[in-house]
Chains A and B, each alone.
Chain A
Amino acid sequence: MSGKIYLYSRWIRLWHLFNAILILLLIISGVSMQYSSLNSTIIRFDKAVTIHNISGILLTANYVFFFVGNLITPNGKYYKISFNALFARLIKQFLYYTFGIFKHQKPPFPVTKEQKFNPLQQFTYVIALYVLVPVVIITGWALLYPEIILTKILGGSGLKINDFVHVITGFFLSFFMMIHIYFCTIGATFISNFRSMITGFHESHD
């Protein structure tokens, strides 16, 4: 028998849906621009620029929605990392994913109303959403208006540093996305976590 907990409120699911679509569009258009060539380009360069710019602007708005939402609703508490034995908890969860899961051990940090994320999830989500996404948004806006932001803040050479930070951060977010999607298959069933993000109910193991 498996239990169901209502964990994902409507605004979280809406934010997550838009975030997923926009990040995917940004990755595809970003890779297309970075690896553009005369013979083969995923999306035509000017179209990729337009898609990337519009998606980036919408992602900023969506991020503000998420950031403010976490400030004014109880959802923000899930992103407050407790440093109490953090490393030991991270290792415990890591060992579960690398060994325990294959021995059908019970998850060391089962999902409850108070504990939506396991320590490894919480740590990576905080890094992704409170470090990488803001960095990619700020550097992205700087690339959208290089003449205003860079000359005033970083001077002439800022453009290159800014672009590298943007591309490298985007690259790490792409990795996060791949691993995140794969780990979503580790649920009560293969698709239960995907279903959770539509219904709002988390399905736990028996």
Chain B
Amino acid sequence: MNFYFTRSIEFTLIYITGIVFGLLLSVNSSKAQTNPKFKNAEYNENCLKCHGQSKYKYNNPESGSEVTKRMYIETIIHRDQFYESNHRQFKCTDCHSEEYDTFPHPGRLRMESKYACIDCHGDDPKYEKFNFEQIETEFQASVHSTKHSEDFNCWMCHNPHTYKISTRSNEKIKDIVAYDNAICLNCHADITRYQLLTDKTNPNILQKHEWLPNQALHFKNVRCIECHARTNDSLLVAHNIQPKAKAVRRCVECHSTNSILMASLYKYKVQEGRSRAGFYNGIIMNEGYVIGANRNYYLGILSLIMFGCVITGILIHATLRIVKRK
């Protein structure tokens, strides 16, 4: 009797739990269908039905047959990446000519000039906190601009179809580092892209950084720009990439209580005010540890007191031995 009673309670509980989960799932899925996240997703499918995949089809009016072609890799737009990017709410034709609606696309459209970040984001109060004007000035002063022609533009680093904010986010520092360093390595570790702007050979990054102790650890935990860009108080991410002779080489620039990491990689988290009491540069300790930069103030004081006591004890003992000697 008792056994059957217990079993029936168990079945009832499982049944109720199942119903609750079922209701929750149905609410979520109906919400997703009735409230699409991306307002231009349907419109963009006109383009993405071809550009969203590796091949496309069209009818050849001459032969009357259907032709399948491979999509040129540079013009493939991955839906998942685009709809995670900063420009995910855009229509393709917000930036590209509406004439692309026709197929085959008119050849002259290839020559259309592209927008730069400042064309949309400049002098706009909505984007004031990003300080795009200052970014533009910093970029113009950087080696990316001064050493190259105007072909080097924002899009060389910030792909408009995939770029998303990383630094100004709650992402883990290691993820931010990996994302941002991939932007640099996109050209600096790929000779075909690197040589779009120069005839030089791509320097071997691992060899060039052989002098750096714990190289792999540094590459995982700090961004290239920590050493290769000049920090700017009014910018969250430095854009003034310096010539290699001016790159940071002194370890103590980071490994000290005045660590520059606080003005670069950890700047956003510093502004957010997440810190740890008692530690120098305590914010770094939420996600890492930098020798020389993460000393504990109280332990430092305690160690000095103990050091003083030992020295004093030795001096008193030695003095007494001298005074009391035979």
Known contacts A163-B291, A179-B314; decide if A50 and B256 are in contact (CB<8 Å): no
The verdict on A175 contacting B251 (CB below 8 Å), with A34-B291, A50-B213, A163-B289 known, is no
Tell me the complex Cα distance, A187–B82, Å: 79
> Quick one: which of A29-67 are within 8 Å of B by CB?
33-38, 41, 44-46, 49-50, 53
**Chain B contact surface mostly:** helix
Kindly state the separation between the CA atoms of A171 and B258 in the bound complex, as whole angstroms: 23
| A50 CB to nearest B CB, Å | 7
Asked if A36 meets B258 with Cβ closer than 8 Å, knowing A160-B285, A171-B303, A175-B306, the reply is no
Q: Which of B180-201 contact A (CB under 8 A)?
A: none
What sequence of 0s and 1s flags, for each residue 142-160 of chain A, a beta carbon within 8 Å of any chain B beta carbon?
0000110000000000011
Q: Does B320 contact A (CB under 8 A)?
A: yes
Contacts of B324 in A (CB 8 A): 102-104
Q: Does A101 contact B (CB under 8 A)?
A: yes
Known: A36-B256, A37-B257, A147-B217. A104 touches B326 (CB 8 A): yes
Complex contact A36–B310 (CB within 8 A): no
* Set A36, A104, A160: member contacting B292, Cβ < 8 A: A36
In the complex, per-residue mask of B223-267: 1 if CB is within 8 Å of any chain A CB, else 0: 000000000000000000000000000111101111000000000
When the two chains form their complex, are residues A182 and B318 in contact, meaning their CB atoms are under 8 A apart? yes
* A103 and B310 alpha carbons, distance in the complex (Å): 23
A178 at the interface (CB under 8 A from B): yes
Q: State whether A41 and B288 are in contact (beta carbons under 8 Å apart), knowing that A175-B310, A178-B314 are contacts in the complex.
A: no
Instruction: For the complex formed, measure the closest distance between the CB of B106 and the CB atoms of chain A, giving whole angstroms.
Output: 53
How far does the alpha carbon of A45 sit from the alpha carbon of B212 in the complex, in Å? Answer: 11
Contacts of A37 in B (CB 8 A): 252, 256-258, 292
Instruction: Tell me, yes or no, whether B16 is within 8 Å of chain A by CB.
Output: no
Contact B217 A41 (CB under 8 A): no
Establish whether residues A102 and B255, one from each chain, have CB atoms under 8 Å apart when the complex forms.
no
Chain A, residues 68-104, CB within 8 Å of chain B (1/0): the string is 0000000000000000000000000000010001111
Residue of B250, B307, B321 near A101 (CB, 8 A) is B321
Q: Are A41 and B252 in contact (CB under 8 A)?
A: yes
Closest chain A CB from B62 CB (angstroms) = 60
Residues of the B chain whose Cβ atoms lie less than 8 Å from the Cβ of A103: 324
Contact with A along B264-290 (1 / 0, CB 8 A): 000000000000000000000100110
What CA separation (Å) do A41 and B252 show in the bound complex?
Answer: 9
Q: Does B216 contact A (CB under 8 A)?
A: yes
Per-position contact with B for A161-183: 1 when CB-CB < 8 Å, else 0?
A: 00100001001000100110010
Q: Which residue of A is nearest B313, CB measured?
A: A179
Rounded to whole Å, the gap between the CB of A66 and the closest CB of chain B is 25
What 0/1 readout, one digit per residue, does chain B (127-144) give for beta carbons within 8 Å of chain A?
A: 000000000000000000
Chain A 183-205 interface mask (CB, 8 Å, partner B; 1/0): 00110000000000000000000
Which of B217, B220, B292, B318 is the most central at the interface, judged by chain A CB atoms within 10 Å of its CB? Answer: B292
The answer to whether A38 touches B295 (Cβ under 8 A) is no
* Smallest CB gap from A44: residue in B: B251
- The reply to whether B213 and A46 form a contact with Cβ atoms under 8 Å apart is yes
Flag if B252 contacts A36 (CB, 8 Å).
yes
Partner of B310, one of A101, A160, A179: A179
Interface string of A95-138 (1 = CB under 8 A from B): 00100011110000000000000000000000000000000000
Find the B residue at minimum CB distance from A41.
B252
CB neighbours (8 Å) of B251 from chain A are 36, 44-46, 49
Instruction: Report the nearest B residue to A103, measured CB to CB.
Output: B324
CB distance from B163 to the nearest CB of A (A): 28
B217/A33 in contact, CB under 8 A? no
Q: Beyond the given A46-B251, A171-B303, please list 14 additional residue pairs across the A-B interface where CB-CB is below 8 A.
A: A34-B295, A35-B295, A36-B251, A36-B292, A37-B256, A37-B292, A45-B292, A102-B321, A103-B324, A104-B324, A104-B326, A160-B289, A163-B289, A179-B314
Which residues in B have some Cβ–Cβ distance to A below 8 Å?
Answer: 211, 213, 216-217, 220, 250-253, 255-258, 285, 288-289, 291-292, 295, 299, 303, 306-307, 310-311, 314, 317-318, 320-321, 324, 326
